[in-house]
Chain A
């Protein structure tokens, strides 16, 4: 029920209705607020950058006529079998457990149809996921739930996960209400208990150990598979440099807008840094080491449109990864389920209670009846459509900037609309040559 705000009624900026609601909720329950999704607060983001496009000194390419390639090679540093994707947009790691088997299958179908990769998640690799994913990245997480060498060998790449943008340093959790018999068996834990995913790896700490861990994984897989290292955006410059030093083929950086299946709200909103500065720091580290484009960089966290993809590539990423946007493409938060969202005390566009397992769209649930609502074939088709739109939008911008390959986009094509974005991305403020923290005044 919306409240009519009349003259004289002034809402506190510090204690607005959301803050009041949270304080009273905490007082009632004695437990912090756990939810899914990523950071919801306003953050400096790709929206704060724009492309300059062609001009007198830059020649555009003809839309739909002149070629603008989108393919990307990942894992070219050490692996015998690098990965070749048709589009530079990958599907991020999301676990079976957090997501239904139908959702995982749909992600695999959509990604395969468009020539890109999917990624497993905490809890191991499912048969459906492997079967429907032409290119599958297998995550190696601290919990090691479901980890086994057979699946490791079946994977096309291995992603060692140190953290994710929604909760750098935080590990993970899958609440008992989502632990079905199958999820419990895959994770070797009793049904119905709150499953904690460790925040640290059990058998290595620090970059020197990571070097040896990567060596072990390469030995087990006979140096066939690219090894990715994924970090939540925090000390991104150093994390990137150390991951390169440890021998990673690909670095994955997830900004704080990146989603989660279940984490404390205080963690999501207050730990980590936005995608924009994280990307710039990672690129700087790679460039300073002379490894830019040799060790590939995947950026994630709040990628929604081809404009976001193009801006990420222009800043120096080799590819992007999407999670939340992919779920939305499958039908998450669709108005189709408005009545059911209302029964859960929320509305389409606001639903983030992925931890509860009651998702009306059948995506973030293990309830068989709800999960059956998602047709994996139709979901896969929708995701494929969405991925194609992202790719075409990226091409549209790249052509307008005169690029025959989307990876030819460069920082020089961009300007910033805000001082914050200019400082974080090290892109000049529009209409000036000013980059705060880099050169002088206006």
Chain B
């Protein structure tokens, strides 16, 4: 029996009370492991956490689950709504099902792993987060992505990496279409090594050599009239 485990049933407790309880934890807390029952698709579960605690959600979560996460580990044993782990700063968020739109949007750091598929705009405007999607991603994923790594083990939809800056995209399957200023790039040794480490953190066994790398062609970094047709 884990004495550090606390259980909260969201059919009996509000999200507000749960989040306040988690926010009130001190750095010395003994309650480092939380299990959330009956989430029933509620929004904003476990958002704004800033301690290295583990929160397991037993079921589907709504919008912005684990939003702006810092240090915490949040595991969702189900699907998630829009913006899971949006703007996460650090820590680990693991979706065992599928994720809706804008998963990991604007994330600055940490690791987001999605076992299933992620819908449109996965990793939009990402700023340093690492995202590993074991399934496929929808259209406009990594749109205006600034930094970090998006790894797609399945396929990618339309306009992948549109207007991308310095983020890296790795895709194992098919890419339907690349967005403006996104181009395929050489997989060098450093990228294979980077993927190796990411797979280790995400606990997946795949060969980095099976992936192709995409990134910015850097042709649109400064506006020039000759490029107007590409915008």
Chain A interface residues (CB < 8 Å from chain B): 29-31, 143-144, 147-149, 152, 176, 187-190, 192-194, 196, 198, 202-204, 209, 212-213, 215-216, 219-223
Answer whether residue B26 sits at the interface, using C-beta atoms and an 8 A cutoff. no
In the complex, how many angstroms separate the beta carbon of A217 from the nearest chain B beta carbon?
9
A219 touches B87 (CB 8 A): no
B221 touches A193 (CB 8 A): yes
Asked if A212 meets B225 with Cβ closer than 8 Å, knowing A148-B89, A203-B105, A219-B15, the reply is no
Answer whether residue B61 sits at the interface, using C-beta atoms and an 8 A cutoff. no
Answer whether residue B106 sits at the interface, using C-beta atoms and an 8 A cutoff. yes
- CB-nearest residue of chain A relative to B20? A222
Asked if A202 meets B124 with Cβ closer than 8 Å, knowing A188-B146, A190-B166, A219-B47, the reply is yes
- Chain A residues whose C-beta falls within 8 Å of the C-beta of B165 in the assembled complex: 189-190, 193
A215 touches B43 (CB 8 A): yes
| Ranked 7 nearest A-B pairs via Cβ | A220-B48, A203-B83, A30-B225, A203-B102, A193-B221, A144-B106, A149-B68
Of the A-B pairs whose beta carbons lie under 8 Å apart in the complex, a sample of 30, sorted by A's number, is A29-B225, A31-B223, A144-B106, A147-B87, A147-B106, A148-B87, A188-B127, A189-B165, A190-B166, A192-B222, A193-B222, A194-B223, A196-B144, A196-B163, A202-B102, A202-B143, A203-B64, A203-B83, A203-B101, A204-B82, A212-B43, A212-B44, A212-B63, A215-B44, A216-B63, A219-B47, A220-B44, A220-B67, A222-B19, A222-B20
Answer whether residue B128 sits at the interface, using C-beta atoms and an 8 A cutoff. yes
- Per the 8 Å Cβ criterion, residues 190-227 of B in contact with A are 221-223, 225
A202 touches B125 (CB 8 A): yes
Tell me the bound Cα distance from A47 to B70 in angstroms: 51
A31 touches B101 (CB 8 A): no
Tell me the bound Cα distance from A315 to B222 in angstroms: 44
Known: A143-B125, A219-B15. 15 other contacts (CB 8 A): A29-B225, A148-B68, A148-B89, A149-B70, A149-B89, A152-B68, A189-B165, A193-B221, A194-B221, A196-B163, A198-B144, A203-B86, A209-B63, A212-B62, A220-B68
Answer whether residue B94 sits at the interface, using C-beta atoms and an 8 A cutoff. no
Asked if A149 meets B48 with Cβ closer than 8 Å, knowing A144-B106, A222-B20, the reply is yes
B166 touches A216 (CB 8 A): no
Answer whether residue B108 sits at the interface, using C-beta atoms and an 8 A cutoff. yes
Asked if A219 meets B19 with Cβ closer than 8 Å, knowing A149-B68, A189-B165, A203-B82, the reply is yes
A202 touches B105 (CB 8 A): yes
In the complex, how many angstroms separate the beta carbon of A317 from the nearest chain B beta carbon?
31
- CB-nearest residue of chain A relative to B148? A188
- Chain A residues whose C-beta falls within 8 Å of the C-beta of B47 in the assembled complex: 216, 219-220
Chain B interface residues (CB < 8 Å from chain A): 15-16, 19-20, 23, 43-44, 47-48, 50, 62-64, 67-68, 70, 82-83, 86-87, 89, 101-102, 105-106, 108, 121, 124-125, 127-128, 143-144, 146-147, 163, 165-166, 221-223, 225
- CB-nearest residue of chain A relative to B15? A219
The total number of A-B Cβ pairs within 8 Å is: 104
- Chain A residues whose C-beta falls within 8 Å of the C-beta of B63 in the assembled complex: 209, 212-213, 216
A189 touches B146 (CB 8 A): yes
- Chain B residues whose C-beta falls within 8 Å of the C-beta of A198 in the assembled complex: 125, 144
- CB-nearest residue of chain A relative to B231? A196
- Chain B residues whose C-beta falls within 8 Å of the C-beta of A221 in the assembled complex: 48
In the complex, how many angstroms separate the beta carbon of A121 from the nearest chain B beta carbon?
17
- Chain B residues whose C-beta falls within 8 Å of the C-beta of A147 in the assembled complex: 87, 106
A188 touches B108 (CB 8 A): yes
- Chain A residues whose C-beta falls within 8 Å of the C-beta of B43 in the assembled complex: 212, 215-216
A202 touches B106 (CB 8 A): yes
User: Could you say which of A30, A188, A209 contacts B147, with CB atoms under 8 Å apart?
Assistant: A188
- Chain A residues whose C-beta falls within 8 Å of the C-beta of B19 in the assembled complex: 219, 222
Tell me the bound Cα distance from A188 to B50 in angstroms: 22
- Chain B residues whose C-beta falls within 8 Å of the C-beta of A144 in the assembled complex: 87, 105-106, 125, 127
- Chain A residues whose C-beta falls within 8 Å of the C-beta of B64 in the assembled complex: 203, 212-213, 216
A188 touches B144 (CB 8 A): no
Tell me the bound Cα distance from A216 to B221 in angstroms: 33
Tell me the bound Cα distance from A143 to B105 in angstroms: 11
In the complex, how many angstroms separate the beta carbon of A41 from the nearest chain B beta carbon?
25
Tell me the bound Cα distance from A29 to B147 in angstroms: 33
Asked if A148 meets B222 with Cβ closer than 8 Å, knowing A215-B43, A222-B23, the reply is no
In the complex, how many angstroms separate the beta carbon of B151 from the nearest chain A beta carbon?
19
In the complex, how many angstroms separate the beta carbon of B90 from the nearest chain A beta carbon?
10
- Chain B residues whose C-beta falls within 8 Å of the C-beta of A192 in the assembled complex: 222
